[in-house]
Amino acid sequence: MISSAKNHSHLLLTLVFFIVSFSLLEPVMSWILILVICATVMRTALYLELHKHAPSIRTLNLLALLSAIVLAYFSWQLGILLGMLNLLVLACSLKLMLLRSDKDYFQLITSCGFLIGCGFIFQQGIAFSLFYFALTLVLLMSLATHISPNLPLNKLIKKVSVMGAQAIPITLLLFMVLPLIGPLWQMPASKSHQTGLAEKVTPGDIANLSQSAELAFRVTFDGTIPAPQERYWRALVMENFDGESWQVSPDRKAIQRQYKGANREFSPILEGNYYQYQVIAEPTHQSWLYALDVATPIGASSQQKVWQSHEYQLSSISPLVSTFQYEIRSFPQVLLNQTLSSVDKRINRQLPEQGNPLTKQWVAETRQKYTTDDDFIAAVMFYFSSQDFEYTLQPPLMPNDQVDTFLFVEQRGFCSHYASAMAYMLRLGGIPARLVTGYQGGEQLDSDYMSVYQYDAHAWIEAWHDDRGWIRYDPTAIVAPNRLESGLRNALNEADLLLGSGFGQLSTVAWLNSLRNWLKDVDFFWTKWVLGFDKDKQQDLIKSLIGKITPQKLAMFSLGAVLLIFALIALFFLPIWRKPKQDKASYYYELAEHLLTKVNLHRRASQGPADFVSQVKNKAPSSITEPFAAITDLYIQHHYQPSSISQQQLIISRMKSHWKQLKQAMKKQKG
Amino acid sequence: MSAMQSRIAIWLDRRIPAARRFKLNHRTIFIFPSRFGGLYLFLCLGLFLLGTNYQNNLMILLCYFLISLFLINLLAAYFNFSNLDIQLGKVQNSFAGDNIQVPIWFNHRDKESHGKIHLSFWRHREKTSVDLDALANPAFIALACPQRGRLPLPRVTFSSYFPLGLYRCWTHLAFQSDIVVYPKPVRCPIRLENKSDEQEQHHASVSVKGHDDFDTLAPYKQGEPLYHVAWKQVAKGQGMLSKQFSHETGASGWLMMPKVASENLELTLSQLCYQVMELSRKNQRFGLDLGNSKIAPDSGNDHQKNCLIALALYGKRG
């Protein structure tokens, strides 16, 4: 049984647990956080001796039982990952209330370490990584305090920081050398942490996304970069419309499953010019990816982890829980007509039966005038450009007959309104059409990569032409041509800009801008080389070190790495570092003593310096005795007389000169 | 002791022979991950699996960082422990049935050692611990001595978990000692027997400085016990005076072991032990005749000790 009163290690552990739990604010349920607060307050009270007794085991068992029931009730909504995480935090908080033995303490330390690791599922930025690293060090501090409670705090801090600093080079070596392997099994992803585009779009949704300045993905182009108006990053294709919202068609999902089951990936025939680029996607906890049309993954690892489906859409095999890199080649001139048109047409003619009578009427009338598909589409586009439509982030609410209200009453909306309305109109006119969501644009300042943010999210449509396949139409481009050429920021009016305060508007201060760009570059480096360091990069690194990889070379390399690690550890503990720091006075005194051993004068262990001098005086000539007596006097003075630093320096310089005298005297003696 | 344990004991005797003083080194130190060390490795494994399955390099980095710390800790723990210099203090002889307190002195060698040291006798349950950062030398460990005779000191196990509790460094040290356990004194009447050829009778009735009866005051001399100081006189301002006690030394004689082997030898020895203690306390001269060995009449602490040792070792080899 160990007491928490004035126990620093318990307090530090409590602190770490509290901070880690609150850094997991979103995934951990609030009632569990309240338990965490209770446990923290309890431990702090015990530490401050405001309270003497921890709650009894019986009380805690009851609490544990109740909490388990509540958690089990919620776990249906939470899913496995969050359920487990919540369970761990809950168990830790109860254990913290109970903490009485060394065993409890060590279990808590281990669990806190694991919780810090779990934090990385949700946060992977540099700032958070440094924060979690600091927390790990505090956790180690707690351990060190637990093992040696009476060591002064500054020494403990020094000890832990030294060990941490020693561990870092070994960590990096291990990270670079130990083979990075692919996932061993599929882990549950957290549904509530999905970010970015959703599988279902109700006009207005993307407008919300547009207020977020978070990064969606970064692109590095090899060679030519497409013009801004060509940067349509396709993510999701939605083919089911219920009169209000668009979503991925259930039929399409069934077809995708069949293809996946048969392992028949869609591989379009590609030719002509292409753009080649590498995408680093931020974690979304969903699996679709971004690419320009018509895309194909390049390189073995990209081909292995990217799946292409029959809507020209790319997705990863498992959800993006951490940054995800893939290499793509896009062929802009290739037509999208390589899929089974019968299936595509059947799915994309589906219409909701109810609602929007005005639109139905308008389409019926217009379609009578324009019998060819091209003319009809042109008429629809003309409608958008001729009427007084407004592009805005704050569309009015349109509860009933949304398309009617939008087209004929309000005439104000965001890209998804335009795309949704147009796709619906085309379908009414008998043309297969579908909604595509993704990102449009991307900014490339003075860096060699392009950043695409959440506010670049966009929706456009595709219409089927029997001769050319799927053709892209973007009604938003007609209403707000600026949107394509210079990005969202310039397409909006003042009021919208104020609303979207998260845009990271360029400040007028130059150094602030350059600092921001520098931070972006650092973040890019972090994402590419730390978060995105994978098997390929590791192999490239090893290749650049040892040249062509052969089994012998690889064996030598691994052996070298292991030896290097051992050499590092040995270096840390070399005897030189372990020698106590001797003061200069003792150093010269010992040198002098050593000189005397040559004339057979030894100081016995029991003999003090003053005693020894008298012995020397009896046995040695004055040429030796005098300097040695002076050295001894100074030595004693240095140790037993309080003196200022300048005085001490004087003493040492005088000792040095006397020591030189002694040395010369010894030489003469011998000579 | 099972066969396995005795084999370990033999191996230990060869590896760490008994000595009075130990400077710990690679021959004497054993090191292995502690139970928490195992849990810690389990944590590393968990982080590795999680990091690999989520393809999360930060988790893998954290895992490797913890593993690196684990490697570094091995040497940190070893060097901290190997800086210790452990020495057995002077052990007081004791009576059977008592606990003796075995003093152990800790010294640092070239650098300070930190953390707690747990001490226990090998294969004994009781543990004590000392904190090297708040050291009160010596540390004591209690050892029960059930019977008279020479007491071989069991190996003492020292263990340390410094710096992070990941490893347990330990050693089993055998200390050279000559602890004699006297028989347990059993109260009985004192039977001093006079031997016919006593020439020592002249010594009788000599006033010897003792501590029974107050005699006179004399100036305090350094080294005299403080409880002899006449504090009343000091308070009156008469200076430090020391009370002098006199003690009538009674007639000397012999404590005899019964010639006929008694049925209860241990009881007889215990009674003799009581008598030796009692006579010494009264500062009386006496001799001890145990049949095969004799100790000539004398008085004083050394004499008492000799007698007690003779009683303790009676009938035992060595």
The answer to whether A157 faces chain B, any CB pair under 8 Å, is no
**What are the pLDDT digits (tens) for A240-253?**
888 888 888 888 88
CA distance B180 to chain A (A): 31
Same domain for B240 and B256, yes or no, is: no
Residue A35: both structure tokens together: 């338990």
Same domain for B231 and B256, yes or no, is: no
Identify the weakest region by mean pLDDT among A565-569, A648-652, B250-254, B268-272.
B250-254
Cβ distance B161 to A129 less than 8 Å, yes or no, reads no
Cβ distance B72 to A185 less than 8 Å, yes or no, reads no
Same domain for A457 and A426, yes or no, is: yes
Range of the domain at B26: 11-180
Task: Find the mean pLDDT for residues A617-646.
Answer: 81
Range of the domain at A620: 584-670
Q: Quote the pLDDT of residue A1.
A: 58
Residue B24: both structure tokens together: 């710990």
Same domain for B175 and B298, yes or no, is: no
Residue at A578 is within a domain: no
Residue A527: both structure tokens together: 């994402």
Residue at A56 is within a domain: yes
Residue at A281 is within a domain: yes
Task: Find the mean pLDDT for residues A268-290.
Answer: 88
Q: Which residues contact A314 (CB under 8 A, 6 or more apart)?
A: A288, A289, A290, A291, A295, A297, A306, A307, A308, A326, A328
Residue at B1 is within a domain: no
More confident residue, B177 or B58: B58
Same domain for A498 and A519, yes or no, is: no
Residue at B23 is within a domain: yes
The verdict on whether omega for the bond into residue A294 sits within 30 degrees of 0, i.e. cis, is: yes
Same domain for A455 and A528, yes or no, is: no
Same domain for A22 and A37, yes or no, is: yes
Same domain for B64 and B162, yes or no, is: yes
The answer to whether B206 faces chain A, any CB pair under 8 Å, is no
Q: Quote the pLDDT of residue B203.
A: 43
Stretch 105-124 of chain B: residues touching chain A, C-beta under 8 Å:
110-111, 114-116
3-state secondary structure chain B: CCHHHHHHHHHHHHHCCCECEEECCCCCCEEEECHHHHHHHHHHHHHHHHHHHCCCHHHHHHHHHHHHHHHHHHHHHHHHHHCEEEEECCCCCEECCCEEEEEEEEEECCCCCCCEEEEEECCCCCCEEEEHHHCCCCEEEEEECCCCEEECCCCEEEEECCCCCCEEEEEEECECCCEEEECCCCCCCCCCECCCCCCHHHHCCCEEEEEEEEEEEEECCCCCCHHHECHHHHHCCCCCEEEEEEEECCCCEEEECCCCCCCCHHHHHHHHHHHHHHHHHCCCCEEEECCCCEEEEECCHHHHHHHHHHHHHCCCCC
Q: Quote the pLDDT of residue B213.
A: 52
Residue at B2 is within a domain: no
Burial class (CB within 10 angstroms; exposed 0-12, middle 13-18, buried 19+) of B5: exposed
Q: Quote the pLDDT of residue A514.
A: 81
Report the percent of chain A where pLDDT is more than 90.
23
R_g of chain A computed on alpha carbons: 37
Which of A177, A210, A237 is where one domain is finished?
A: A177
Residue A138: both structure tokens together: 């505090």
Same domain for A132 and A219, yes or no, is: no
Residue at B257 is within a domain: yes
Q: How many domains does chain A have?
A: 4
**Cβ(A122)–Cβ(A24) under 8 Å?**
yes
Same domain for B167 and B64, yes or no, is: yes
Residue at A246 is within a domain: yes
**pLDDT greater than 60 at residue A525:** yes
Residue at B225 is within a domain: yes
Q: Which residues contact B47 (CB under 8 A, 6 or more apart)?
A: A113, A114, A117, B59, B60, B62, B63, B66
Cβ distance B62 to A117 less than 8 Å, yes or no, reads yes
Amino acid A573 reads F
Task: Find the mean pLDDT for residues A21-49.
Answer: 90
Same domain for A542 and A458, yes or no, is: no
Q: Quote the pLDDT of residue B208.
A: 45
Same domain for B187 and B106, yes or no, is: no
Residue A28: both structure tokens together: 């951990």
**pLDDT greater than 80 at residue A492:** no
Task: Find the mean pLDDT for residues A119-133.
Answer: 91
Same domain for B218 and B188, yes or no, is: no
- Best mutation target, B45, B68, B110, B133, to test chain A (most A CBs within 10 A): B68
Same domain for A228 and A146, yes or no, is: no
Give the integer Cα–Cα distance in Å for A82 and A76: 10
Helix (H) or strand (E) holding A129: helix A126-147
The answer to whether B25 faces chain A, any CB pair under 8 Å, is no
Q: How many domains does chain B have?
A: 3
Cβ distance A580 to B55 less than 8 Å, yes or no, reads no
More confident residue, A35 or A223: A35
Residue at B205 is within a domain: no
Q: Quote the pLDDT of residue A135.
A: 95
Give the integer Cα–Cα distance in Å for B316 and A299: 87
Same domain for A262 and A360, yes or no, is: yes
Same domain for B150 and B173, yes or no, is: yes
**What are the pLDDT digits (tens) for A342-362?**
888 888 888 888 888 889 899
**What are the pLDDT digits (tens) for A228-274?**
888 899 999 998 888 888 888 888 889 888 888 888 888 888 888 89
Same domain for A342 and A407, yes or no, is: yes
**What are the pLDDT digits (tens) for B4-43?**
888 988 998 888 888 888 888 888 999 999 999 999 999 9
Q: Quote the pLDDT of residue A630.
A: 87
**pLDDT greater than 80 at residue A227:** yes
Mean of pLDDT over chain A? 84
Residue at A288 is within a domain: yes
Identify the weakest region by mean pLDDT among B210-214, B282-286, B299-303.
B210-214
Confidence of residue A398 (pLDDT cuts 50, 70, 90): confident
Same domain for B62 and B173, yes or no, is: yes
* φ and ψ at residue B160, rounded to 5 degrees: -140, 145
Same domain for A462 and A393, yes or no, is: yes
**pLDDT greater than 70 at residue B200:** no
Residue B181: both structure tokens together: 């356990």
Residue at B204 is within a domain: no
Mean of pLDDT over chain B? 82
Instruction: Give rounded-to-5 percent helix, strand, coil for chain A.
Output: 60, 10, 30
Same domain for B45 and B143, yes or no, is: yes
Same domain for A493 and A515, yes or no, is: no
Cβ distance A143 to B164 less than 8 Å, yes or no, reads yes
Residue at A407 is within a domain: yes
Identify the weakest region by mean pLDDT among A177-186, B76-85, B189-198.
B189-198
Cβ distance B131 to A148 less than 8 Å, yes or no, reads yes
Same domain for A379 and A471, yes or no, is: yes
Q: Which residues contact B239 (CB under 8 A, 6 or more apart)?
A: B219, B220, B233
More confident residue, B35 or A637: B35
Same domain for B17 and B162, yes or no, is: yes
Same domain for B190 and B314, yes or no, is: yes
The answer to whether A132 faces chain B, any CB pair under 8 Å, is yes
**What are the pLDDT digits (tens) for A97-113?**
988 888 999 999 999 99
The answer to whether A166 faces chain B, any CB pair under 8 Å, is yes
